[in-house]
Amino acid sequence: MISQESLFHVNLITLFPEIFPGILGHSLIGKAHEKNIWSYATINIRDFAVDSYGTVDDVPFGGGAGMILRPDVIQAAIRSIPNRTGPLIYFTPRGQSLTQNLVKSLIQHPSLTLLCGRYEGVDERIFQHYDVLEISLGDFILTNGDIPAFALLDACIRLLPGVIGKQESLQNESFESGLLEHPLYTKPVSWEGLDVPEILRSGHHGKIDAWRHNESIKVTRQRRPDLWIDYLKNKLK
């Protein structure tokens, strides 16, 4: 579980190490873990408490609601990781958006360290002292950083060689070409008065590819005009 010999290793600094691997222990990601394609180690923040009561946080200077994780405790947790390499990541609404391009850049590192916050967050001096990559899943608030850690790791691990059998599956996904994925159909051919488009049953691969591309353009323009604008800009480069 803690093997550094895997293709991709993750250090998880958390107050609840028992929740890992959780959903990452199942399906394709779980099988990849069994094959040692990726590995993880949990670092329990509570192990570095400042007293016998397990204190790892304190009230904010200047007043206000909630508790703040102490910088000395977090530093001790970070320092406990042997031979730490790769980005130190913290999940926060003020971070850069998690995108497919960012995911691709992260898997270029053999190791990541994820700092999973709780309460009101982490003392600002951690970000002043360490080079921290701050990442946001979107414009909403969660109670913890463990949930985005699951999302980030799922997005990263599925791209590692040997995790998904058909690499074509990865190439045709949303965001890979700058467009959203085309509509998908399977059996039965007719269902509730709705039929699978005839072109998809034609066996003419060239026409099918053209149809799928046009549908990707259509759905991107309708659902994500921001992505469509970026797609057009990139085509002009």
**Mean pLDDT in consecutive groups of 10 residues from the start of the chain, 237 residues:** 72 98 98 97 98 96 94 98 96 96 97 96 97 96 96 98 75 75 95 96 97 96 95 88
Residue-range definition of the domain harbouring residue 200? 172-236
Query: What pLDDT score was predicted for residue 237?
Result: 76
**79 and 177 assigned to the same domain:** no
**51 and 118 assigned to the same domain:** yes
Centroid of chain to Cα 19: 17
Query: What pLDDT score was predicted for residue 39?
Result: 97
**149 and 208 assigned to the same domain:** no
Query: What pLDDT score was predicted for residue 169?
Result: 58
Question: pTM, whole model, 2 decimals?
Answer: 0.88
What sections of the chain are H helices per DSSP? 27-34, 71-79, 100-106, 125-129, 146-157, 167-171, 205-223, 225-236
**55 and 144 assigned to the same domain:** yes
- CATH number, position 199: 1.10.1270.20
CA distance 137 to 93: 7
Centroid of chain to Cα 236: 30
Query: What pLDDT score was predicted for residue 235?
Result: 87
Residue at which a domain ends, from 126, 157, 188: 157
